[in-house]
């Protein structure tokens, strides 16, 4: 079984707006914070945002309330701007009591970690996050959300393969030597 359409769209939209610098724009603009430079300069902060996003309240991949995740990530970024990274992350983590499908979100975080730290099986060019935009970030996550298969309990069945395909898509997007073929359904994106 494929990933729920709502969670697929939520992941792709989060990645797009997060790396475009327009996530929770109203809250961040009110505080006059340009978080994108901070996020692109510090891979741990980027990964922390993915962890916060993954911990947002969900009912086992159903009944998605995307603004909840965005608001907490935005609050984390505002608190970071105020100057206490450890307290900002602890405050964000305390916002949730995770009841999400742990196996699914662990695999999502594995992809996020590979993406943030360039620890894919086939690494992308050095410092690729410096030039990252929302449009550049979405393809790898889109392929992952499209390829991932789940069992009846929403547990990933082919997580390694989905990660491999996401890696291959980012290599192609980055123009590095890679020649995988993608089916049309693998590269579909919800965001545009």
Q: Residues 1, 119, 35, 136: is their CA dihedral positive or negative?
A: negative
Q: Which of 44, 189, 36, 24 is nearest to 112 (CA)?
A: 44
Q: What is the pLDDT along the chain (192 residues), one digit of tens a residue?
A: 888 888 898 899 899 888 887 776 666 666 677 788 888 888 899 999 999 999 877 653 444 444 677 888 888 888 888 887 888 888 888 877 666 677 889 999 999 999 999 899 888 877 676 667 777 788 899 999 999 999 988 889 999 999 999 999 888 876 665 567 888 999 888 776
CA distance 59 to 97: 12
User: Which single residue is written with the structure tokens 């603004």?
Assistant: 67
Strands of the chain, DSSP E: none
Quickly list DSSP for 122-153: SPPPTTGGGG--HHHHHHHHHHHHHH-BB-TT
Predicted TM-score (pTM) of the model is 0.86
Q: Which of 108, 118, 121, 136 is nearest to 178 (CA)?
A: 121
Q: What are the structure tokens assigned to 37, written together?
A: 């430079």
């Amino acid at each position: 079984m494929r990933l729920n359409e709502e969670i697929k769209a939520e992941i792709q939209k989060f990645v797009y707006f997060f790396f475009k610098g327009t996530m929770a724009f109203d809250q961040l603009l009110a505080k006059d914070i340009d978080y994108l430079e901070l996020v692109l300069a510090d891979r741990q902060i980027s990964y922390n945002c993915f962890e916060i996003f993954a911990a947002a309240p969900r009912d086992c991949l159903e009944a998605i309330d995307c603004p909840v995740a965005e608001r907490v990530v935005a609050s984390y970024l505002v608190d970071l701007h105020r100057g206490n990274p450890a307290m900002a992350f602890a405050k964000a983590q305390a916002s949730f009591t995770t009841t999400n499908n742990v196996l699914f979100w662990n695999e999502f975080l594995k992809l996020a970690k590979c993406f943030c730290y360039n620890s894919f099986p086939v690494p992308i060019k050095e410092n690729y996050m410096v030039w990252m935009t929302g449009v550049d970030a979405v393809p790898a996550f889109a392929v992952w959300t499209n390829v991932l298969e789940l069992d009846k309990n929403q547990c990933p069945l082919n997580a390694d393969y989905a990660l491999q395909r996401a890696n291959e898509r980012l290599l192609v997007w980055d123009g590095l030597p890679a020649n995988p073929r993608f089916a049309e359904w693998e590269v579909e994106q919800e965001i545009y």
